Amino acid sequence: MKRWLSSPTRRGCTYVATGGELHVALVAGVPADKLVLHGNNKSYAELRMGVEAGVHRIVVDSFDELDRLDQLHAETGVTPKVLLRLTPGIKAETHDYISTGQDDSKFGFGVSSGAAEVAIERARSAASVDLVGIHAHIGSQVFAVGSLGKAAGVIGEIALNHEFEELSVGGGLGVPYVEDERAPTIAEWGRVVRDACVEAGVSARITAEPGRSIAAAAAITLYTVGTIKDLPGIRTYVAVDGGMSDNPRPVLYGSGYETFLPRDVGADRTKRVTVVGKHCESGDILVREGLVPADIVVGDVLATPVTGAYGHSMGSNYNMVLRPPVVFVRNGEARLVVRRQTFDDLTRFDT
């Protein structure tokens, strides 16, 4: 789940992408009217959950979803406030797997194809939805704020032409994971987006979804070193008690991470290692080019920072490896919020 921030006069909202995330958010005490329901393939049941809970907005992603909302309105008589997700035809400078704004995308109504205008016309004439605005999101881990500005300009012009009251410019601002990366600040992103909207003459209330840019640095993943295998002239492998089951990003996107030993955070990191997990395949790599102190030993705790956005949320039990706990720390006080799994948890749902 990510954060969705609106104007200074309104508290921020949280957006959820599935019925499961919606359920967890509600159980956690997030007010329904602070939730925005996303997703490219919302089922009838998920849409019904959102309508019955009274979510703040539903972001509609397809004509099939409009059909389902027609059916839901006929059953319940409720008319939810919606945004239409548009695809502005802009390819973000990021990994293909997390690029979402190009014409060839599973998300949204295409602007260049004319689908966006057809969807706007249909939604405006339908009794089943209250169309209050439009939304766009071109990808994740985007460093080129110019692309985000271009997308804002495209949908800003549409918002102006149709006199929409809301315009969500989405999110996707990247964060630095390794030392040589430099990411724009939220303020820089805001200036670029605002300038694009001003140039387009937008009068709608502009909202955004900072997501990763405010959540990623909030967490650090800790591992215990179990094996150190030095292959002279090749590399040194450091194997830890986790792997691609708790962080699949390096395998999925080739994502990089830094490494350090919490026992001596200021130590010189002169030893180059490849940090791997305990799964039964060679691709189970967490950090391909990591640096650690030369005195690293079996039993050390090894940390990879910046795992707050996509770490625990993407985890699995691949190879039946237990999922780690989640601990919140504040002012030196630790609080367990998700307990460590046990072997009994692995068979809990078996019949």
**Positions marked active-site:** 280
Collapsing DSSP to helix, strand or coil, 91 comes out as coil
- Rounded CA separation 242/195 (Å): 45
- Rounded CA separation 262/299 (Å): 12
Of the candidates 152, 133, 17, the residue with the CA atom closest to the CA atom of residue 83? 133
Collapsing DSSP to helix, strand or coil, 73 comes out as helix
Residues 19 and 48: beta-carbon distance below 8 Å: no
Residues with Cβ within 8 Å of residue 165, at least 6 apart in sequence: 132, 133, 204, 205
CA angle 182-186-191, nearest 5°?
A: 110
Residues 80 and 144: beta-carbon distance below 8 Å: no
